[in-house]
Structures are given as C-alpha cells and as structure tokens.
Amino acid sequence: LDRLSVPPPPLQAAMGTAALDLLWTVLLLPLLVSGVPTEEHTSGEVLASSPPGRCRRCCDSEDPLAPAYAADESAASPSSLPYVWPEVRPYINITILKGDKGDRGLLGTPGKLGKEGPRGERGPQGTKGDKGQGSPGSPCQTRFSAFSVGRRTALHSSEGFQPLPFDTVFVNPDGHFDMAAGHFVAPLGGLYFFSLNVHSWNFKETYVHVMHNEEAAVILYAQPSDRSIMQSQSVMLALAPGDRVWARLFKRERENAIYSDDVDIYITFSGHLIKPEDD
C-alpha cells in the first residue's frame, strides 16, 4: 500500500511539469483572448478590424492604413487642427467722415432764357396808398385837347393853294379848332396826333397837304382813276403853344378835287394831344 500511494520519482517529476504548464495556460489565456481580432456587425455592415493587439476607438480614422501614432497625436494635440481665419468686411461710416461746409463758389454764367410761361391770374387789389405830398396844379391849366371835324361839300381847287375848310363838328370841346379859319391851334406844347381822310374824284387828281404852320408836313395823294376811293393820311407832330395845323389843296397841271355830298360825310380831319411837353 505504501508503494502504491507514493508515486515513483520520475512520475513525480512528470506531474510537476504538467501542473506548471496548466498554471501558465491559465495565466496566458486572458492575454491570448484579448489579442484575438474580433468583428462586430452593425446595421448590416462589417467594420474594419483594428490592427492586431490594438483597440479601435470611435475617434480613430476609418483608414486602416493610417498610422496609429497620427491618430494619437491629433487626438492628443488640439492645436494641430487647421485654423480657419474669419472673413473681415470693412465698413466705413460716411457720416463721421463728412467735413464742414465749404465756401460758396463763384457765380456761373447765366443760362439761356426759358420759354415764357402762361400769364398768371390777376392778384387781389392792394390797399390804397397814402396821399402824395405834391402841390396841387393850377385849376386853369389845360391838360387835354382834341377835335374832329368834317365836310359835306365837294371841293375843286381853283388856284395853286386853296385852304380846306370844314362845316361839321364832331368833337371840339374846348374850341381849339377854329372853324372859320379851318385851323387847329395848340393850347400847350406837346405831342399831337392828326388824321386826314378824303374821298377821291374819279378821273381827277387828289393832292392835299397837312400843314404845320406854313410848311407842309405830309401829303395825301391819289392819281386820276375811273373809280373814286377813300384816301387817308396821319402824322404825329411836336407842337409849341399857339402852333397851327390845317389842310390845303394843291393844284398842278391836272384838275385837283375831293368828293363829298350832302347826305354822307366823306371828308374828316381829327387830332388830339398825346403827351404834354412838361410831363
């Protein structure tokens, strides 16, 4: 029994070796298991396996060929990431750059006149002004003069010069036209306007002077014709007080005449003061 319970020395040596191998197996098994590459299926896709002996992290690069140290350095050093420069847009506030108002420039050349616009409406009547300071004029001073006379009878010239008298008065308020002499006498100096109208006689010459004192101022003339027509002449004269204005016929080689009748008046002579000399 003692021999059977105690193994021989060689057998003891073999059993000791086997127990030692089993102990190493138990100790190295976790290391072997951790080093075996594993595959995990997510959503039907197979992830790339990590290099042997290295765990794969979610922040690692998907490129299996990328060196492990590059991922480690990029993860460990945030300063190695690329820096994006912000976009700078300059803005200038014009209001703060506005300077003081400058001096007024030189006046430019005037432009062309524009078209005349329509006449505006008449404005309201203004207030009455103050009475003037001038002295009143003389009540006897005459500031107006006018006349208009006519002739109803035809007249033939019988000599070289023949005054033209008048027998009808239209206007002669102050008697400045002398009906007997057939002359207008200026009451004061100034500018006067005169008009003479006659009717020519057919087949006879018409030749009449408007006289200023003794000189012919203007001539009314019509050649002989088979028709008798109206003729007229007008003139403006500067007269001194007492100057005379009248009309006369002038006979030359031909017979000179003017026509009229007892029904109608064809011969008229008129005049009026336009502006006194002292105005």
Predicted confidence at residue 46, as pLDDT, reads 41
**Residue 60 above 60 pLDDT?**
no
Look at the domain 146-276 and name its fold: Jelly Rolls (2.60.120)
Highest mean pLDDT range out of 96-105, 123-132, 136-145, 247-256? Answer: 123-132
Contact 168, 198 (CB under 8 A): no
Looking at the whole model, is its pTM more than 0.95?
no
Instruction: Show Cβ contacts of residue 187 under 8 Å, excluding neighbours closer than 6 positions.
Output: 142, 145, 174, 176, 241
Q: Answer with the residue of higher pLDDT: 155 or 88.
A: 155
What confidence tier does 139 reach under pLDDT thresholds 50, 70, 90?
low
Q: How many other CB atoms are there within 10 angstroms of residue 278's CB atom?
A: 9
The mean pLDDT value of the chain amounts to 77
Task: Name the 3-class secondary structure at 19.
Answer: helix
Cα separation, 136 vs 57, in Å, equals 126
**Residue 138 above 90 pLDDT?**
no
What confidence tier does 116 reach under pLDDT thresholds 50, 70, 90?
confident
The residues spanned by each domain of the chain are 146-276
What confidence tier does 36 reach under pLDDT thresholds 50, 70, 90?
very low
**Residue 49 above 50 pLDDT?**
no
Predicted confidence at residue 270, as pLDDT, reads 96
Cα separation, 264 vs 180, in Å, equals 22
What confidence tier does 88 reach under pLDDT thresholds 50, 70, 90?
confident
Q: Please name the helix (run of DSSP H) or strand (run of DSSP E) that holds residue 32, with its range, or none.
A: helix 9-35
Please give the distance of CA 160 from its chain centroid, rounded to a whole number: 70
Q: Answer with the residue of higher pLDDT: 128 or 7.
A: 128
Please give the distance of CA 57 from its chain centroid, rounded to a whole number: 81
Rg of the chain, C-alpha, whole Å: 70
Contact 228, 202 (CB under 8 A): yes
Cα separation, 111 vs 60, in Å, equals 83
Contact 190, 273 (CB under 8 A): yes
- pLDDT tens by residue, 146-189: 999 999 988 888 777 889 999 999 999 999 999 999 999 999 99
**Residue 191 above 70 pLDDT?**
yes
What confidence tier does 9 reach under pLDDT thresholds 50, 70, 90?
low
**Mean pLDDT, to the nearest integer, of 235-241?**
95
What confidence tier does 228 reach under pLDDT thresholds 50, 70, 90?
confident
Q: If you count them, how many residues does the chain have?
A: 279
Instruction: Show Cβ contacts of residue 250 under 8 Å, excluding neighbours closer than 6 positions.
Output: 157, 160, 161, 207, 208, 209, 256
Query: Residue 51 corresponds to which amino acid?
Result: P
